[in-house]
Structure 1
Amino acid sequence: MIDLLVEIGTEELPPKALKKLSDAFTDGIVSGLKDAGLQAAEVYPYAAPRRLAVWLKGVPAQQKDQIIERRGPAVAAAFDKDGNPSKAAEGFARSCGVEFSALQQVETDKGAWLVFRQQQQGQNTADLFPAIVEKSLSALPIPKRMRWGSGTAEFVRPVHWIVMLANDTVIDAEILGIKTDRETRGHRFHAPAAVSISKPEDYAVQLGQAFVVARFEARRDMIKAKVEALAAELGGTAIMPEELLDEVTALVEWPVPVAGRFEERFLDVPQEALISTMQDNQKYFALVDANGKLMPNFITITNIESSDVAQISSGNERVIRPRFSDAEFFWNQDKKQPLESRREQLKSMVFQQKLGTLYNKSGRVAQLAAYTAKQLGADEALAVRAAELGKCDLVTNMVFEFTELQGTMGRYYAQHDNEPAEVATAMEEQYMPRFAGDELPSTATGRILALAERLDTLAGIFGIGQKPTGAKDPFALRRAALGVLRILIEQQLPLDLADLLDKAADGLTTQLGSKPDTQEALDYILDRLKAYYQEQGIGANLVEAVASLKPTQPLDFDRRVKAVAAFRALPAAESLAAANKRISNILKKIDNPPETIDAGLLQVDAEKTLATAVQVQQEKVVPLFAAGEYEDALLSLAELREPVDKFFDDVMVMADDEALKNNRLAMLNQMRGLFLRVADLSVL
């Protein structure tokens, strides 16, 4: 066994892409070794601003010998009519570098074939490693590669050194125009001299002595711990989004936290604007107190151990001050004009060429919101007001500068204008959920506005024939559809999607000149249920069993799916699903299956028992279906297992006597109809 090490030394790599590049580089090397029949006992990836590296511990020093097999023409085509080798067979032998007599035959389920088998001696792993590394580098997810100097090599950033070791020996190769060596570089300022790596297992230790924490996860954990400790000293808690933590980790090799402070007057500005500036522009960690209120402090991560920390702190404070001053100015200016007065400006903002302006859209959304509120018994006036004001913050100075604050600033401006509290909250909640797993609107008006916004967009974009294709989804319709489903299901709203989309289409009629068809939009939204339930561990066949009945109320759909999932866990489920499949196949062959059972025609004990059981179940489950108690209904129907099994064992359904046959078909049709009130169990 040997240990392998490769390090690609570069100029500073893109921080937002560093982790992804590291993962892909490591996976590519591991995959390359696997293709060569090799596997490391342990794999340690490293990623820092100026390097991507992998240590592969415990790799076989040599491949195992392999039998290489090439298949040639079929034996039937390998000989002419005189029994001599055909031209195809001789050509195959020549391509293998042997005489025809060296070929063998192999029998398969598709016939007999000529084959050439040859034993290939395993190669040294160290000899294979450079090509494996090169293949991994060429496959990295780099949108745009660059060249440097006079060479032709291309990479995400200029490459300055390559370390490649097998145990304590340099693997001699040239990669990206650089000769491999054992010399890496330490910290750009603290330890700029070359560092000679003795062997792979010493890599991280030697770099640590040169002020480089090479392991991405170790550096990330170090930053998190240091920021938390410093925040506690300042009497607060640091806000550390995962994305920001990853980006800061990718910016430094030797993380050192430094605290800074800003004037308390800036705290009069909505804290989301200040936090956004600190995180997005400066990569600072903002601090909040025990009540979640922003503190006039921040923490930044520097890449050096400074002898004058106060100077670094002061410099960062100077940088943040003008940005906060801009935010303060925008906030004060925007407050001078109420949201309602900005609605006219939406007439100049195009939503979509065929669907009109944001002003047009807000009018349609208001109509749909009013209808939805009426359906739910909510306050129609609040829903309409929220819809009319919903996009007005888009024309404010603050949102123009900080686009990610749309909705949030709308809430602040609505509060300043003394709009009803629920209207102000809805300004922000209309965008929820923003991403998978995000929280949902907490108010009735917020839910209504979030639904109306998305449904108008879905009905409109599908109505003009611009549905998403492949990876292109410019109006984020996939996210919109999932958002609609989550709100309706998780917030228990008994609304019918087909009905809501039809009302959305009514609102589009004037704009488009005719009422658009919404069936495609409806199908698209309901198709997203497969992904929704997949994340919950519910199989696609369970969803399909319900979807085959085409229910259009997502909350009702959810109850059915949960009921089928519970039924599927019962001992009777498999037998009854098979019976449903059998009955389905029988009834498919009949144009108009009979529905009425004549008790006088029941002859065999098994059919009499089943008929009685079906009648009993009908009386028990029909009220449950009416109440939407699908799980209780299916649990009750599971009692049919024994009489159904006995029926199929003892009774000939397709009897010669036409009346007898029709009576038995009617009984099966009635029973299947009960199950179809929930789902098509034959799909299972």
Structure 2
Amino acid sequence: MRTENLLIELGTEELPPTALRTLGESFAQQFEQALVGAELDYASVNWFAAPRRLAVYVSDLAESQHDKVVEKRGPAVSAAFDEQGEPTRAALGWAKGNGIAVSDAQRLSTDKGEWLLHKASVKGQPIASLLEALLNQAINKLPIPKPMRWGSSNTQFIRPVHTLTVLYGSEIINLSALGLTSDRIIQGHRFHGEARFELPHADTYATSLEEHYVLADFTARKDKVKQQLEATAATLGLTPDFNDSLLEEIASLVEWPVVMQASFDEAFLDVPKEALIYTMKDDQKYVPLLNKDGSLSNQFLFVSNIDSSDPKQVIDGNEKVIRPRLADAEFFFTSDKKHSLESRLPKLASVLFQKQLGTLEEKSQRIAALAGQIASAIGANATQAQRAGLLSKTDLMTNMVMEFPDVQGVMGMYYAQNDGEAAPVAQALYEQYLPRFAGDSLPSTGVSSAVSLADKLDTLVGIFGIGQLPKGDKDPFALRRAAIGVLRIITENNLALDLASLVDSAIDVYGDKLTNQDCKDQVVDFVLGRFVSLLQDQGISIDVIQAVSARRPTAPADYAARIDAVSEFKQLEQSEALAAANKRVANILSKQKVSLDNTDVDKQLLSQNEEVALYDALSAIQADVEQSAVSQNYGETLRLLATLRDVIDAFFDNVMVMADDEKVRRNRLNLLALLRKLFLITADISLLAKS
């Protein structure tokens, strides 16, 4: 069967840059699903996306569906003929629907009876008759939250569409979509080359566009932007400050990237670099340049969409654009420093944190109280933690943060330094928001950790305390992120803090504002639930997590220590046999309703060598097991218990637990309860899966 490459392009007006990659990937995904549903053979589906186009490119697409035979089962033979052997109405109707006589039908025999059967040959349809429906199906499934109309038509799309190109090899496939009829017309660059040109063949799509100053391949365009930024910065001896998100957005704004260098007045460098960087990156999509010591240079890079014959005009224009934004930042910084953070505390009373939970002033007071308690518990300066907690939200009342919300915290640090606050207090104002995302750095001091934990716990307890639990993907107060932040701060700094106690303290600080009686258990369970996800992301096997979770340790550092110990234990040769033995012990004790409090063993009732050996082995290590657990040396705890493998195996091979003598039976059950209790000190290893 003939195959050709298929190109479909929607030529649009400028698409939203933050949605461009998603639209391109989704267009390819939805169209591929449509091809699969239509049973059309192809090799691969790729996507193109640029500010004024979305396209899919299908390699080796078959020109039609395959012919196939479809089996259509009719009524059962017993119902298809009457007593005289004549076809019934059911049989006649089925045969007519299939365009055959009843006598032409075949028979299908199964173990449940015999049915009439017709094997119909269905000829595959050509793509020329299929593509219109497939394309419209894909378009209708694109993630477009707010479609728009244009002109006098009722057609809707994310932006007006001006061209529709559909080429199968060099052949135009005639179809209609989005109010347009397919052609081979392509929009060129808005300022370079031809405004529109004819595409001769699907295979020349990318190369033809490049000749007209358009890099249609999103990834290639993004890579080119990155290479140009790095190369230009290298010639200046500076480092470009960009992340993947900024790179993606820049690549979504230009079709023909040209990196240019510009500068601003050095006097603006007196403003904290974070505010200047925010202005350049977020407002203008410029790329700041850093000196070798990490300080901000007055040079910056920007990516133009034109290859200008007079680049100085383009550079001058961009320098004029950035100057007033930097001047605003300078003005805000200068005016904000005239008033201390402490003087802004009363203003927090006018801003609600949450209607039922009070104002930001009340939240700051709660954070201060809780931060002081946490600092004392971890050996940090409680007075400084309380001070930082009290001032933690005051920078929200500054002009700078009101104008540039993303610099909250960091501006608090600079203003605290200006006010003469202690260095740990100023640092904590910035680090209270850490970690902000997966992989982000953690607070660097005990004071900062205390304030960060207090802020996150106050939010978690408060929102849960009024019954507003996150549902599905709705989490307006970012409780999941707060929970993960709490866990990372405690575990990665190995802080001796218990979630249950922390939540109790946060509830006490709230007083009578909370209405949810189950708040404590729900918050602890919620945070521990995030721990499961966090550990899975780290590659910890689910059975290890379940074994530890079964004990519900509420101190995160202790939880993490158990996870490490059980992961190590699982690698031991003895682990599988001991896990099986523990499962057997758990089942026996459960059926006999034996409490783990009943571990008193009467050695005089031990008559068989194997049970005596097990008891002696348990007695020999019990004190060391319990002591190592107290010191959270769970690895040693499990290594000690691993030495029991042979005596446990011998016990089950030779000792009848359910002896006829009730006292002997009870004594043996108590012996197993002692064994089970010692293993459960660390985790329920009966839940470990076989290797």
TM-score by length of 1: 0.93
Structure 1 range deviating more: 162-171 or 306-315: 162-171
- What's the CA shift string for 1:135-181, capped at 9, x where partnerless? 22111111111122233322111111111122221222112221112
Are residues 210 and 559 of structure 1, via their aligned partners in 2, closer, same or farther at CA, if it must alter by over 3 Å?
A: same
4+ residue runs of structure 1 moved beyond 6 angstroms? 70-101, 111-116, 513-516
Task: Give the corresponding residue for 2:148.
Answer: 146
Query: Gaps (5+ residues) in structure 1?
Result: none
- Tell me if structure 2 keeps the 8 A contact 1:505–1:516: no
- What is the aligned partner in structure 2 of residue 324 from structure 1? 326
| 8 Å CA contact retained: 2:131, 2:175 | no
Deviation at 1:607, TM superposition (A): 3.1
Q: In structure 1, the residue corresponding to 2:157 is in which secondary structure? A: coil
User: Aligned residue for 1:599?
Assistant: 603
Question: 2-side partners of 1:576 and 1:85: how far apart?
Answer: 70
Distance 1:617 1:113 in 2: 72
Give 1:658's aligned amino acid: E
Residue 458 of structure 1 is matched in structure 2 by 460
What is the 5 A alignment of 1:162-181?
162-181=164-183
CA distance in structure 1 between the aligned counterparts of 2:266 and 2:79, rounded to whole angstroms: 89
| 1:293 counterpart (270, 292, 295) | 295
Matched, 1:20 2:34: no
Letter in 2 for 1:677: I
In 2, Cα distance between equivalents of 1:83 and 1:484: 80
Give the aligned residue type for 1:463.
Answer: G
C-alpha distance in 1 between matches for 2:151 and 2:518: 58
User: Alignment partner for residue 627 of structure 2, among 606, 623, 638?
Assistant: 623
| d(CA) in 1 for partners of 2:72, 2:135 | 27
By how many angstroms is 1:275 displaced? 0.9
Match of 1:683 in 2: 687
Partner of 1:641: 645
Distance in 2 (CA, whole Å) between partners of 1:16 and 1:113 is 60
Structure 1 SS opposite 2:58: strand
SS for the counterpart of 2:572 is coil
Once the two structures are TM-superposed, the CA of residue 131 in structure 1 deviates from its matched residue by: 2.8
Report SS of the residue matched to 2:335.
Answer: helix
2:667, 2:573 → 1: CA distance? 29
Q: Matched residue of 1:652: which SS?
A: coil
CA contact (8 A) 1:236 1:287 kept: yes
SS of structure 2 residue aligned to 1:181 = coil
Q: Deviations over 1:208-263 (max 9, x none)?
A: 11111110111111111112222223331111121111111011111111211111
Q: What corresponds to 1:421 in structure 2?
A: 423
Whether the aligned pair in 2 keeps the contact of 1:433 and 1:440 (CA below 8 Å) is yes
* 1:347 aligns with one of 324, 346, 349: 349
The alpha carbon displacement at 1:10 in A equals: 0.8
- Alpha-carbon shift at residue 92 of structure 1 (Å): 7.2
Pick which of 77-86 and 294-303 moved more: 77-86
Q: Residues 498-509 of structure 1 correspond to what in structure 2 (within 5 A)?
A: 498-509=500-511
Structure 2 vs 1, CA of residues 107 and 388 (structure 1 numbering), >3 Å: closer, same or farther? farther
State the distance in 1 between where 2:552 and 2:313 align: 67
Letter in 1 for 2:680: L
Decide which of 561, 566, 569 is 1:567's aligned counterpart: 569
Aligned twin of 2:239: 237
How far did 1:665 drift? 1.5
- How far the C-alpha of 1:378 sits from its partner, in A, is 1.1
Written as runs of structure 1 = structure 2, the 5 A alignment for 1:526-545 is 526-545=528-547
CA distance 1:446–1:197, shift in 2 (3 Å)? same
What is the CA deviation profile of residues 612-640 of structure 1, one whole-angstrom value per residue up to 9, with x for unaligned ones? 33333424422221211112222332233
CA deviation after TM superposition for structure 1 residue 339, in Å: 0.7
Mean Cα deviation higher: 597-606 or 306-315: 597-606
C-alpha change, 1:554 and 1:179, in structure 2 (3 Å) is same
2:371 to 352, 369, 372: 369
Alpha-carbon distance change, 73 to 344 in structure 1, aligned in 2, over 3 angstroms: farther
Scaled by the length of structure 2, what TM-score is found?
0.92
> Do the aligned residues in 2 keep the contact of 1:11 with 1:157 (CA within 8 Å)?
yes
Distance 1:589 1:91, change over 3 A: farther
Q: Alpha carbons of 1:675 and 1:48: their partners in 2 closer, same or farther (altered >3 Å)? A: same
What is the root-mean-square deviation of aligned Cα atoms in Å? Answer: 2.8
Which has the larger displacement, 124-133 or 372-381? Answer: 124-133
- Paired with 1:79 and 1:557, the residues of 2 have a C-alpha distance of 73
* Residues 1:398 and 1:162: Cα distance change in structure 2 (over 3 Å): same
Shift, 1:653, TM fit: 2.2
Q: CA shift at 1:557, angstroms?
A: 0.7
Name stretches of at least 5 consecutive residues in structure 2 with no aligned partner: none
Supply the AA of the counterpart residue of 2:480: R
Distance in 1 between residues matched to 2:625 and 2:96, nearest whole Å: 75
Aligned-pair distance for 1:367?
Answer: 1.0
Cα 1:455/1:122, change in 2 over 3 Å: same
What residue number does 1:58 align with?
Answer: 60
Aligned counterpart for 2:397 among listed residues 381, 395, 398:
395
Separation (CA, whole Å) in 1 of partners of 2:411 and 2:144 = 36
- 1:505-563 CA deviation, whole Å, 9 max, x = no partner? 11111545998842211111111112111111123332222112111101111111122
How far apart, in 1, do the equivalents of 2:348 and 2:77 lie? 76
Structure 1: which amino acid aligns with 2:631?
A: A
Give 1:192 deviation, angstroms.
3.1
Residues 43-62 of structure 1, C-alpha deviations (whole Å, 9 max, x = no match): 43211011111222233444
C-alpha contact (below 8 Å) 1:508/1:515 kept by paired residues: no
- The structural deviation recorded for 1:66 is 4.1
How far apart, CA to CA, are the structure 1 residues paired with 2:351 and 2:614? Answer: 67
Amino acid in the other structure paired with 1:331: F
